[in-house]
Amino acid sequence: MHFIAQGAGLVGAAFVLCAYFMISQKKWSEGQVRYHLFNILGAGLILFSLTFDFNIAAFVIQVFWIVIGFLGLYRLKNKES
């Protein structure tokens, strides 16, 4: 199971890095749902990996990353209404 958690963490990191890369290259914008979903999913997978090798600093940043992602989705939803 530890191997699966590490793999999930790596996939999560890839999601977060992909979102950052795409926005820095101006291929995506912060106004797109997929940007926030990639960040939420990535941080969630990293959080899962922390259940097997806990680190408080990494835990805190991932929780905030998820909260910020959901706030971004909420803002987008209200903007469309």
Q: Give the pLDDT confidence of 23-78 residue by residue, as tens digits.
A: 999 999 999 999 999 999 999 999 999 999 999 999 999 999 999 999 999 999 99
Element (H or E) spanning 19, and its range? helix 2-24
Q: How far is it, in rounded angstroms, from Cα 22 to Cα 30?
A: 10
Q: Are 10 and 53 spatial neighbours (Cβ–Cβ below 8 Å)?
A: no
Cα within 13 Å of Cα(21), Cβ side: 6
The answer, as to whether pTM is greater than 0.85, is: yes
Ramachandran category for residue 55: left, alpha or beta (phi over 0 → left; psi -120 to 50 → alpha): beta
